[in-house]
Amino acid sequence: MSKNDYLFTSESVSEGHPDKVCDRISDGVVDAFLAADPEARVACETLTTTNRIVLAGEVRGPAPLVDAKGNVDKDRIEQIARECVKDIGYEQDGFHWETASVEIHLHAQSADIAQGVDASGNKDEGAGDQGIMFGFACRETEVLMPAPIYFSHEILRSMADARHSDADAGIGPDSKSQVTLQYVNGKPVGATSVVVSTQHAEGLSQEEVAAIVMPHIKHVLPEGWMPPREEIYINPTGKFVIGGPDGDCGLTGRKIIVDTYGGAAPHGGGAFSGKDPTKVDRSAAYVSRYLAKNVVASGVADKCTIQLAYAIGVSHPLSVYVDTHGTGSVDEDKLSKILQELVDLSPRGIRTHLGLNRAIYARTAAYGHFGRQPDGDGGFSWEKTDIADAIKGAF
C-alpha cells in the first residue's frame, strides 16, 4: 500500500467523559477569574472519582475570588464545580452535582513564576513556561480540520444535543467515538469502521442502544461514506450503565489528542484546560492553529503545520517553523517571516491579537478546541481566517 492509500483513525470523547468533566470544571474556574479580572492568572487541575471532586493549583486574581493574603473563595469555586457538573447532566447515584464532595486546594501563584512572567521596567511579559506548540490545517473538511477527528466529534456532539433536549433520554453523559477513514491518493473517501460506546439507562439492550445511536452516525457522515453494518460497533462490551467519574477516575488535561487533531498532526505535549492565556501551552497552540488555518485558507498551501517554541520568562518565540508538506506554492522561509510580520507572537501579542483575556474557555472543554465556529463574544477567535487575504497578497 502506498503512502497515499491508507486507513487512519481518530477518537473523541463526550463532555461527560471523566477527563472532560475535569477539563470543564478547570475551564469554569478560568472563566470565573478572567470575568473578574482579564489579567488574572490561573493554573487549575481537577480530579474526579466516585462522588468526589478535587481541585488544586495556583491562582492570582481579585477579591472576592482571592483575598489580600492569597486565600481563595472556596465557596465560589465549589459552586462553579457543581454548576459545571449539573450542566453536563450528572445526577447519578455514583456522581451527582448536588451531593458530590468537593475539595478545594487552590493557592496563590508562585512568586518565582510571577517574576518571570510579569512585565516590569523595560522587560515585556514573558512566556509562562517553556515548551513547543503545534498548529495544523488541511482541506479535508470545510473547517480545515482532519476528517477523522472532525466526524468523531460531530457524532458525539449530535448525541449530546439530543440528550440535552430529551430526544434521546436513554443515553447518559459519558460516551466515546472512533472513526476510521479510507484515504485514496491522500484524500478521505469513506469510513471503513465506526465505534461508539455510550453510557445508557439500566435495562436498555445493546440493540436498543444501537437504535438510538445509528441515526447520529448516519446524520454526520457524508452521503456514501457509511461503512458496512458489521463494521459499526456500538457498545461492543454489551453494557455501559456505570460511567463517568463513578466508573473511571478523571483528570484535567488527559485528552490532548482529542482536543487537537486526533493524531493527524504533531502535539507539543501541553494541555489547554485550566490555564489562563498567559500560558503558552494554550495561547501559542491557539495562534499556531490560527496561522496554519489562514495559510490554507489563503490558497498558498493545501496543508500546513506550524511549530512555535518558547522559554519561560522570554517574550519572543525561539523558533517559528512552517511545513506545507509539499502542497505549498510559496517559499516556506518567506512564509514564516510574513506570518511573524502579520502577528506579534509574543505572549502579550497573541492575547491581544486573538482577544484571549476573556471568559471564553468553558465552551472549549469538549468536542475539540479547533474546527469550531468563531463566536460573537470572541470565543474561538483563533478559527477566524481574517489574515488569509494578507498572506495571499504578500506573494
DSSP 299: T
Cα–Cα distance between 4 and 116 in angstroms, integer? 46
Crossing angle of the two packed helices 206-220 and 147-164, in degrees rounded to 10: 120
Residue 189 and residue 162 in contact, taking contact as beta carbons nearer than 8 Å: no
Q: Which amino acid type is present at position 63?
A: A
Lowest mean per-residue pLDDT among 158-172, 253-267, 357-371: 158-172
The grid coordinates listed for 231 are 463494521
Residue 251 lies in a domain: no
Do 191 and 338 share a domain, yes or no?
no
Residue 70 lies in a domain: yes
The domain in which residue 99 lies consists of 18-117
In sequence order, what are the residues at sequence separation of 6 or more whose Cβ sits closer than 8 angstroms to the Cβ of residue 52?
100, 101, 102, 103, 245
DSSP 120: B
Closest CA to 274 of 17, 77, 7, 101: 77
How many structural domains is the chain composed of? 3
Between 330 and 122, where is the model more confident? 330
Which residue numbers belong to the known binding site for Mg(2+)? 19
The order of strands in the sheet holding 41-49 is 101-108, 52-60, 41-49, 250-251
Helix (H) or strand (E) holding 153: helix 147-164
Residue 248 lies in a domain: no
In the chain, the percentage of residues whose pLDDT exceeds 90 is 89
Closest CA to 103 of 76, 82, 145, 74: 74
Residue 155 and residue 198 in contact, taking contact as beta carbons nearer than 8 Å: no
- What one-character-per-residue DSSP string does 308-321 give? EEE-BT-SS-SEEE
Residue 262 lies in a domain: no
In the chain, the percentage of residues whose pLDDT exceeds 70 is 96
DSSP 266: -
Which residue numbers belong to the known binding site for K(+)? 45
Which residue numbers belong to the known binding site? 17, 19, 45, 58, 109, 174-176, 239-240, 248, 254-255, 271, 275, 279
Helix (H) or strand (E) holding 75: helix 74-88
Query: Looking at the predicted structure, is the pLDDT value of residue 72 above 80?
Result: yes
pLDDT in tens, 197-252: 999 999 999 999 999 999 999 999 999 999 999 999 999 999 999 999 999 999 99
Residue 327 lies in a domain: yes
283 torsion bin: left (phi>0), alpha (psi -120 to 50), beta (else): alpha
Do 288 and 385 share a domain, yes or no?
yes
Counting Cα atoms < 13 Å in the Cβ hemisphere of 361 gives: 31
Cα–Cα distance between 67 and 113 in angstroms, integer? 20
pLDDT in tens, 83-140: 999 999 999 999 999 999 999 999 988 665 555 566 545 456 778 788 999 999 999 9
SS3 (DSSP) at 104: strand
Q: Which amino acid type is present at position 186?
A: G
Residue 1 lies in a domain: no
The model carries a pTM of: 0.95
Cα–Cα distance between 40 and 224 in angstroms, integer? 49
- pLDDT range class, residue 379, cuts 50, 70, 90: very high
Do 296 and 202 share a domain, yes or no?
no
Q: What is the CATH number of the domain that holds 83?
A: 3.30.300.10
Q: What is the pLDDT of residue 2?
A: 53
CA distances (Å), origin 2, targets 186, 191, 255: 10, 19, 31
Closest CA to 221 of 171, 158, 168, 162: 158
Do 40 and 67 share a domain, yes or no?
yes
Cα–Cα distance between 395 and 324 in angstroms, integer? 15
> Average pLDDT of the chain?
94
- pLDDT range class, residue 278, cuts 50, 70, 90: very high
The grid coordinates listed for 146 are 482532519
Residue 343 and residue 356 in contact, taking contact as beta carbons nearer than 8 Å: no
Do 103 and 151 share a domain, yes or no?
no
Q: What is the pLDDT of residue 287?
A: 98
Residue 60 lies in a domain: yes
Cα–Cα distance between 39 and 379 in angstroms, integer? 17
SS3 (DSSP) at 169: coil
Residue 75 and residue 49 in contact, taking contact as beta carbons nearer than 8 Å: no
Do 164 and 206 share a domain, yes or no?
yes
Do 135 and 162 share a domain, yes or no?
no
220, 242, 264 — which closes off a domain? 242
Do 135 and 161 share a domain, yes or no?
no
Which residue numbers belong to the known binding site for ATP? 17, 174-176, 239-240, 248, 254-255, 271, 275
Do 237 and 337 share a domain, yes or no?
no
Do 80 and 59 share a domain, yes or no?
yes
Do 281 and 135 share a domain, yes or no?
yes
Residue 232 and residue 193 in contact, taking contact as beta carbons nearer than 8 Å: yes
Do 190 and 91 share a domain, yes or no?
no
Which residue numbers belong to the known binding site for L-methionine? 58, 109, 248, 279
Cα–Cα distance between 46 and 55 in angstroms, integer? 4
β-pair type (91-92, 95-96): antiparallel
Residue 247 lies in a domain: no
β-pair type (41-49, 187-200): unpaired
